[in-house]
Chains A and B, each alone.
Chain A
Amino acid sequence: MKKYYYIVLLIIMTILIIGSISPEYGNPRNMDYINYYLEHGVQDTGAINLVASIYLDYRAYDTLIETVVLFMAVIGVTFILSKGK
């Protein structure tokens, strides 16, 4: 029973991966959102540095989870190292 479960899971994963590969990935016509950031980034966020406007405004949720990941790393290091003594 477990075997069939994994086989079905593998088939679904391969279908999803094949479906998500687009042959025109590097085509400059498909870079609409990058051009949107370049044109509207300064007006929308008010920051000159475009990198900051992306990681603190458009993708701020990603930054929040990133800080939580660092927090987990600190907890893990202190826990594992203090276990020996």
Chain B
Amino acid sequence: MKNSRIIRTLAQKLLPFIFLFGFYLTFHGHLSPGGGFQGGVVIATAIILLTLSYGIKETENRFKEKHLSVLEKLAILAFIFLGLLGIFFGYPFLKNFLPLGQRGCIASAGLMIPLNLVISIKVAAGMTGIFYALVKYRGEI
């Protein structure tokens, strides 16, 4: 099933801006309200919008479910690896081992940016996976 051409074109044009907003929320998580979970959900809504306007088959050609599930598992492993990396430098598990930097800059607060990025990738892949499962097995889009 396909929607009208206006909806499809608008969804296609809006997609990069929604991605941009999601990554903005993710990378400014230690400076302003937001963070990994919220940014991940915003990124997932972009793919959900694409699914609602184009249908599940054309969306799966771009964002395959296999790749998303692999990405999700890799993100959890990366989180645990980042925690274990502190042990090699002589700190406790998940302790910040990078330099803190200047307060208020984006490149500050050490380990928070990688952790936020990993969380946002994981949440985006997970939410999209749930939506794909709902559409594939119970829906008619």
Contact = CB atoms under 8 A, between A and B. Distances in A.
Given A60-B115, A81-B138, A46 B129 contact: no
Contact of A48 (B31, B93, B115, B122): B31
B94 A60 contact: yes
Contacts of B73: 71
Given A60-B83, A81-B133, A82-B137, A46 B109 contact: yes
B-side interface size class: 35 or more
Q: Interface residues of A: mostly helix, strand, loop or mixed?
A: helix
Contacts of B16: none
Interface in A44-85: 45-49, 51-53, 55-57, 60-61, 63-64, 67-68, 70-71, 73-74, 77-78, 81-82, 84-85
Contacts, number: 95
Contacts of B11: none
Contacts of A53: 30, 109, 112
Contacts of A13: none
A42 interface: yes
B80 interface: yes
B72 A71 contact: yes
A48 B104 contact: yes
A37 to B, nearest CB: 15
B133 A49 contact: no
Contacts of B136: 81
B35 A71 contact: no
Interface in B43-61: none
A42 B103 contact: yes
A56 B36 CA distance: 10
A49 B94 contact: no
A46 B100 CA distance: 6
Contacts of B133: 77-78, 81-82
Interface of B: 29-33, 35, 72-73, 75-76, 79-80, 83, 93-94, 96, 100-101, 103-104, 108-112, 115-116, 119, 122-123, 126, 129-130, 133-134, 136-138
